[in-house]
Amino acid sequence: MADNDANIPNGRTTLLSARKGEAIKIHGISKRFGSIMGVDSVDLHVEAGEFLSLLGPSGSGKSTLLMMIAGFETPSAGSISLGGRDLTRVQPNKRGIGMVFQRYALFPHMSVAQNVAFPLKMRGVSKAEIGPLVDQALSRVRLQDYGGRMPAQLSGGQQQRVAVARALVFRPPVLLMDEPLGALDKKLREELQIEIKTLHASLGVTIIYVTHDQEEALTMSDRIAVMDKGRIQQLGSPVSLYHRPNSSFVADFIGKMNFLSGVVVGLDDLRIKVAVSGQTFDIARSQISGREEVAVGRSVQVAVRPESLSPAQEAEGAIAGEIETSVFLGSYRTLIVRTEDGTQVQVQIPSSQRDCDIPSRGRTFVQLDPSAVCVFAGKAD
């Protein structure tokens, strides 16, 4: 048996059901490229069996961090362990980790079955055992009848399913996925998101998933690590990141967000009063995000999701504006409204309200739900 087969338990024919995910601990990991710090002192604990996404814009360090976990990049500092085993200087082929890339990386001269069998051959698994394991892996991704085809005979989605089967066939405790759906169209991407999530639930493997698509991360993840400038800016569940972002960067990057300029006009131990576009809103202090203190007279940003704004009649607390355009998006409509102070906001209206008398252009008022906002301290006046 090859020396990189430590991942295969005794009784190999139970390979796809014998192992569960293992925890990954990352401590003080950094990666410097000359004068550029690609990843800067990251600490991260991924629970066994967890689906964690690394989310961020291009250049945020998410792929570099993933490549260090895989062993394709060497850390400048810090350590990586898997199930208590130090992997920091271990060669990639000896880490026992599955990897799925954006561009499939299938061998074009091999059939589907041969591609999936390749990791098993490299681990010294006998021919008699390989066949059932390959069949089981292809069945997992709904390609049980495609073993004899060549990669060029498959669609993009089918090729990515083969890549997933190949990464899972030796039943690794950890699966790393680097923007695996980025080359697919929207509909197919959404279908495969659900399939990967279903596979994760059935296998219990630990998955670390890199994406720049915030909707993808929200759909698939147990937790999300939002990265920027080589650091984790916030780590939490999709719900907590969406509703309680800790910075304006995270608020803007996760989902759609409106930012309204305001000034603190009053505060006590429990609440603050913020003036926005000629209206005053009473907001709980627990809705203040970030580390900066607020004080009367201080400028703030009031962040509110489009679905927490609604068209209204002129009334106290309603912000006046002009509807610039209306966009129909199937399950909801989006009104683009320019407030009187020049701020453009998006107002999301469920399509179930299609019978309401909402103009597509013209003067309107926007009602803000004070309980659904986040407040970020701006520059002091």
285 and 164 belong to one structural domain: no
Q: What pLDDT, on the 0 to 100 scale, is given for residue 9?
A: 39
Any domain includes 1: no
For the chain, how many structural domains are there in total?
2
User: Splitting the chain (381 residues) into consecutive groups of 10 residues, what average pLDDT does each group show?
Assistant: 39 48 96 94 96 95 96 96 94 91 86 94 89 92 92 90 91 92 83 89 93 93 97 96 92 92 91 91 89 84 93 82 88 90 91 65 88 80 38
- Residues 234 and 316 reside in one and the same domain: no
On whether the CB atoms of residues 323 and 344 are closer than 8 A, the answer is no
The reported pLDDT for the residue numbered 377 is 85
CB-based contacts of 185: which residues, under 8 Å, 6+ apart?
A: none
CA angle 186, 189, 192 (to 5 degrees): 155
Q: Give me the residue label for tokens 């309680």.
A: 244
| Residue 67 CA to its chain's centroid (Å) | 17
Q: In whole angstroms, what separates CA 258 from the centre of its chain?
A: 21
Which pLDDT score, from 0 to 100, does residue 304 have? Answer: 95
The answer to whether residue 49 is domain-embedded is yes
CATH number reported for the structural domain that contains residue 344 in this entry: 2.40.50.140
Residue 349 sits in the same domain as residue 203:
no
CATH number of the domain within which 100 lies: 3.40.50.300
Region for residue 143 given its phi and psi (left: phi exceeds 0; alpha: psi -120 to 50; beta: otherwise): alpha
Q: Do the domain assignments include residue 369? A: yes
Domain boundary among 249, 272, 301: 249
135 shares its domain with 155: yes
d(CA 163, CA 141): 10
**Claim to verify: residue 373 and residue 243 sit in the same structural domain:** no
Helix axes 127-140, 112-122, angle to 10 degrees: 130
Helix 127-140 × helix 156-168 angle, to 10°: 130
Shared domain check, 270 and 315: yes
Residue numbers of the domain that contains 292? 256-380
Give residue 205's pLDDT: 93
Q: Which helix (H) or strand (E) holds 128?
A: helix 127-140
In a domain, 5, yes or no: no
| 134 and 102 belong to one structural domain | yes
Alpha carbon distance 70, 300 (integer Å): 42
| Residue 358 CB-density burial (10 A; 0-12 exposed, 13-18 middle, 19+ buried) | middle
Instruction: Identify whether residues 273 and 349 lie together within a single domain.
Output: yes
Residue 99 to residue 68: CA distance in whole angstroms: 12
Single residue among 215, 249, 283 that ends a domain in this structure: 249
Q: Which of 38, 31, 53 is nearest to 236 (CA)?
A: 53
pLDDT at residue 313, rounded to an integer = 79
Sign of CA dihedral 304, 308, 309, 315: negative
83 within a domain of the structure (yes/no) = yes
For residue 6, tell me if it sits in a domain. no
DSSP 8-state code for residue 110: S
Same domain, 216 and 288: no
Task: Examine the domain organization and report whether 146 and 237 are in the same domain.
Answer: yes
Q: What's the pLDDT score for residue 291?
A: 66
Last residue of a domain, one of 249, 277, 298: 249
Residue 27 lies in a domain: yes
Q: Which residue has the tokens 């509909």?
A: 187
Q: What is the pTM of this model?
A: 0.87
Same domain, 224 and 264: no
Residue 360 and residue 327 in contact, taking contact as beta carbons nearer than 8 Å? no
* Within-domain flag for 85: yes
> Do 152 and 30 share a structural domain?
yes
Q: How far is CA 10 from the centre of its chain?
A: 35
